Amino acid sequence: MAGGHPCRLRFSRCRFGKHPPYRDPVLPPYNGLMGPDDKICYCYHVSFRKLYHYALRNKLQKASQLSDCLGAGTGCGWCIPVLKRIHEAVQSGRQGPRIDMTPEEYADARQRYIENKEPKNSFD
């Protein structure tokens, strides 16, 4: 077998005892604030966890490459600042960024962004 351990268990305990149990690197304490399963990109329904793991697995060079994860950031642009923070956290080996808003506040802020036709955020 070429490289790696035969168990191929990435998300549960390795039965050969070679790999430590999987720990989710995404989870900062969030106590009612935006959590790992909350949507970051409302246009394409992409969760925080999905984006974080995509960045982690694919070792992205630029935050804009997160758009390859189900199109995140390619709609209204609201989520781009958060995508940049996720990319930055992954690059520096930290847990996902804590977003100091509840999911409802985040959704409301995005709604206002759309209604007010604010200038579109960009990855630059």
Sites of contact with ligand FES (CB under 6 A): 41-43, 72-79, 110
Length of the chain: 124
Residue 64's Cβ-side half-sphere holds a number of Cα atoms within 13 Å equal to 4
**According to DSSP H, which parts of 27-79 are helical?**
48-58
Pick between residue 9 and residue 76 the one whose CB is nearest to ligand FES. Answer: 76
Least distance CB 20 / ligand FES (angstroms): 34
- Nearer to ligand FES by Cβ, of 52 and 78: the residue is 78
Tell me if 92 sits within 8 A of 86, measured CB to CB: no
Rounded least distance, CB 36 to ligand FES, Å: 17
